[in-house]
């Protein structure tokens, strides 16, 4: 018996906060002292309070959904561009292989900035676009990839504009970076899970059965929610005109 582990980072903000709320209630019911996690739980409570306040601000801010969509768009464009470059590294045309290699050098230099904080990612994309245009203009043209860079820059500017609007709306309010807070609380959450799972191995299951079963029931619900969402997204992509066209081309 053990607590199920999964990528809580994939949950939406409200889902994530709800799971943390349920996790907190279960820990309080059994007692942090019983689980020997007093120090970890104290840190968790501080971060839980921060997430609670940050989520409340997001609930009240009418730009939240637009910001999330803009962030997802720029991430998607960047991912698509890197996949395009990777594909051309296996091109039968030597000039495209060389161009892809040159661009790959710049990509590797910046790394995957999609997991950085909002501000860091925005700055990284701005620097990346400037650098790639300055160092690899001919290579970009060789791969016919200028549109990707232009769209990445435009989507990043849209995101930056939305963030500016939100800052103006939130002026005078307590600012808490929800994205960073979630990363912090996820780390503590996973530490607690690992500790309890290890304690079950050392001490036996008896003292943990009720807690683990109740928590796993909730975790299973959210895992199923993510799986269903992923399935719907995959089905939607299959039904898009571009996907149908690609399928027809492959069939031919």
Give counts: helices (H), strands (E), the chain: 11, 0
Torsion over CA of 162, 113, 72 and 69, rounded to 10 degrees?
A: -10
Choose the weakest-confidence range: 27-31, 131-135, 169-173, 175-179.
169-173
Is 252 inside a domain boundary? no
Q: What is the pLDDT of residues 80-95, one digit of tens each?
A: 999 999 999 999 999 9
Q: What is the pLDDT of residues 53-81, one digit of tens each?
A: 888 776 665 677 788 899 999 999 999 99
Calculate mean pLDDT across residues 143-160: 95
In our burial notation (b when 16+ CB lie closer than 10 A, e otherwise), range 17-42 reads bbbbebbeeebeebebeebebeebbe
Pair 194, 123 in one domain: no
189 close to 51: Cβ distance less than 8 angstroms? no
Is 3 inside a domain boundary? no
91 close to 57: Cβ distance less than 8 angstroms? no
Pair 143, 106 in one domain: yes
Calculate mean pLDDT across residues 166-185: 76
Report DSSP state, residue 11: S
Is 94 inside a domain boundary? yes
Tell me the residue ranges of DSSP E strands in 29-141.
Answer: none
Q: How sure is the predictor about 241, in pLDDT bands with cuts at 50, 70 and 90?
A: low
Pair 123, 200 in one domain: no
Helices 64-88, 146-169: axis angle to 10 degrees equals 160
Residue 202 has pLDDT above 80, yes or no: yes
Domain boundary among 169, 198, 223: 169
Does the global pTM surpass 0.75?
no
The pLDDT assigned to 176 comes to: 74
Pair 71, 114 in one domain: yes
Calculate mean pLDDT across residues 190-205: 94
Is 2 inside a domain boundary? no
Give the span between the Cα atoms of 165 and 160, in whole angstroms: 9
Give the span between the Cα atoms of 195 and 43, in whole angstroms: 15
Nearest to 3 by CA among 23, 24, 31, 30: 23
Domain boundaries, position 74: 64-169
Give the span between the Cα atoms of 166 and 75, in whole angstroms: 20
Pair 161, 99 in one domain: yes
Name the percent of the chain lying above pLDDT 70: 87
Is 52 inside a domain boundary? yes
157 close to 150: Cβ distance less than 8 angstroms? no
SS3 of 197, please? helix
24 close to 45: Cβ distance less than 8 angstroms? yes
Pair 71, 164 in one domain: yes
Pair 141, 223 in one domain: no
Is 116 inside a domain boundary? yes
The pLDDT assigned to 163 comes to: 87
Total structural domains in the chain? 2
Give the span between the Cα atoms of 88 and 94, in whole angstroms: 10
What is the gyration radius of the CA atoms in the chain, in angstroms?
A: 23
Average pLDDT over all residues of the chain = 87
Is 97 inside a domain boundary? yes
């Amino acid at each position: 018996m053990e607590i199920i582990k999964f990528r809580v980072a994939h949950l939406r903000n409200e889902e994530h906060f709800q799971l943390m709320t349920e996790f907190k209630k279960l820990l309080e019911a059994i007692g942090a002292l019983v689980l020997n996690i007093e120090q970890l739980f104290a840190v968790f409570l501080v971060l839980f309070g921060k997430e609670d306040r940050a989520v409340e601000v997001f609930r009240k801010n009418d730009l939240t959904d637009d910001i999330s969509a803009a962030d997802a768009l720029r991430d998607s464009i960047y991912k698509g561009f890197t996949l395009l470059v990777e594909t051309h590294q296996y091109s039968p045309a030597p000039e495209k292989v060389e161009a892809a290699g040159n661009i790959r050098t710049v990509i590797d230099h910046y790394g995957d900035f999609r997991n950085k904080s909002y501000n860091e990612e925005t700055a990284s994309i701005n620097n990346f676009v400037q650098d790639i245009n300055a160092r690899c203009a001919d290579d970009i043209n060789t791969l016919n990839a200028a549109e990707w860079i232009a769209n990445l820059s435009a989507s990043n500017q849209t995101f930056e504009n939305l963030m500016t609007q939100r800052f103006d709306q939130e002026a005078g309010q307590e600012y808490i970076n929800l994205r960073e807070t979630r990363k912090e609380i996820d780390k503590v959450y996973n530490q607690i899970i690992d500790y309890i799972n290890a304690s079950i191995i050392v001490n036996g299951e008896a003292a943990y059965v009720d807690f683990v079963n109740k928590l796993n029931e909730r975790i299973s619900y959210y895992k199923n929610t993510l799986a269903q969402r992923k399935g719907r997204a995959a089905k939607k992509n299959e039904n898009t005109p571009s996907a149908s066209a690609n399928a027809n081309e492959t069939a031919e």
